[in-house]
Every structure is written in structure tokens, then in C-alpha cells.
Amino acid sequence: MRLQFAPICLAAASLLLSTPVLADELEDQDAVVQEDEGSSDDELDDILGDTSSEKSTVKEEKDDLRASTGTKAPSFEPPDRTIKMIQQKDFMKIGRFEATPSVGFVTNDPFLNRYIAGVRLGYHLTEIFAVEGELSYSPDLGETDWKPLTTQLVNENNVSPDISKLTLVSNATFQFSPIYGKVALGGGNIIHFDIYGAFGMGITQTRDDLRALQAEGDPIAQATEVQIQPTTNFGGGVRVVFNETLAVRVDGRSLVYIETVNSTTLEMKNNFVLSAGVGFFFPNMDKVNK
């Protein structure tokens, strides 16, 4: 038993003596690994540069750029977002009357020159809608109203064109102004304008030209010499306003009616009347606003 125990003791003693040597070897290996990692970090810094020297903010980089180049770094300003508003309307029509004396002529009559003078009186229900009445008169000037074509047909060719003269017009119309604007003139002056349409009903008085019809003294022709016809009218115009009481208007109206010629023939007539006038607004805007 003693002989067997002796070898065991010797083995244990040798193991204890060798343990510090193994520990020292492990420590040496760890030191080598740490040294290798440190050298690899140094090599990475050499490649990428010293990151610890980077500036922490963009402002510091701009300051360095100004100091090194002597120029100002570009700056970016936000865009101008100013919203321009339409100025308040300083001319009002609502609740006001408009009286317009006017003169005009029939543009599409191939045989006669017809000049018309009249007056219109309107009331503006709103800034867009209005009602208006019209009364116009065109004098009968005989052969002075004839155009050269009519003179040639009657006196030279003995041809009788169907001629009737528009002498009186009375209408009631509804007016709407969907388009409104301003125009700036020199000296800071501003004029207003609107474009309007109109339609309505009325009557038209006509007189047959018996001389042109070569029917003077004919009782049948005389029976329908003067006629009054129901009339529809439609058209529009432009109103230019210079101040709160004064405006200029240019107006075009189509007058459509059916008349009897020489007591035997029905004809539809469409006379287009172009006119210009000066409009006067009343009462003053201050009284209306009160």
C-alpha cells in the first residue's frame, strides 16, 4: 500500500509545480492579442484619419471655411410666401339707380340708315343683377334715310325692296354682370369696369316706306303702314366707371319681331342696335350704405 501511494503523491506535486507555468503562458498570449488589436486600430486611424478631430457641428465647419478662404459661406433663405390679396371694391352698384341717355344706329339694315336716341333707367338689385327699362326713338327722314343701294333699286331699276323703318322701341330687360375688374391709370387713378348681358321683352313700332314700296295711295299698303309688334331683345355690353356717379356704356342689342308687309306677307326682322351712352348713378354711395 505504501508503494502505491508514493507515485500518486509525486504526480500531484508535479501538477502543482506546473500550474503557474501554464498561467504565465496564458497571460503572455492575452498580452499579444491586445497588442495586435491596438496596432490594428492605429492602422485604421492612419487610413481614415483622426476621427476625434472632426468638428461636432456644421456651424464650426462654416466658421473654418470662412477663416481659410476669406469668403462668406452660401446661405439659403426661405422663399417669399407673401400672399397678395385683392383690394376691397370701392365702387358699389347695389341699391342704386342708373340713368343712361344714349345714341346709336342699326348696323345690319342693308337699305336704310336708322339712327336712334333714347334713355335707359335701371335699378341694381345686387352687384350682379339689375332690371332696366328703355325708351328710344328714331325719326323718319324720308329718302334721306335711304342708302345708295336703295336709291339705285327704286329710281333706276324700278325694284321695290321690302323696307320698313324702325321708329320707336320700348323694352324691359333683366341684366346680369358676371365679370368685374379694375384698370390702373397714371397718377394712381383706378377705373372700374364690368361686362354684362341682358335679355327681355318689349314692343317695336315700325313704318313702311310706301315710296320705296311704290305703293303710295294703295289702301291695302296703307292699312299696315304703321305697326306695333311684340319684340324680344337680347345682347350685352361694357360699363366703364370713372367715379361713384359717372360711367360710360357701350351696348349691343338684337331686336327680333315679326311684321306684316303690304298687308300680305309676314317677315321676321332682326335689327341689331349698337349704342353708346353716359350713365349717372344715384343716390350717392354714402346714403345707400346708411
Model pTM?
0.68
97-289 in CATH: which number? 2.40.160.20
Question: 3-class SS at 11?
Answer: helix
The segments of the chain whose pLDDT lies below 50 read: 1-6, 9, 13, 15-17, 19-23, 26, 32-33, 37, 44, 48, 51-55, 73
Q: How far apart are CA 126 and CA 132, in angstroms?
A: 13
Question: DSSP code of 244?
Answer: S
Residue 139, Cβ neighbours under 10 Å: how many? 13
C-alpha dihedral, 39 to 40 to 46 to 47, nearest 10°: 170
pLDDT confidence of residue 118: 98
pLDDT digits (tens, 9 = 90+) for 200-251: 999 999 999 998 888 888 898 889 999 999 999 999 999 999 999 999 999 9
Q: How far apart are CA 93 and CA 88, in angstroms?
A: 14
Long-range CB contact pairs, 260-266, < 8 A, 24+: 260/224, 260/227, 261/162, 261/164, 261/208, 261/224, 262/162, 262/208, 262/213, 262/215, 262/218, 262/220, 262/221, 262/224, 263/220, 263/221, 263/223, 263/224, 264/220, 265/162
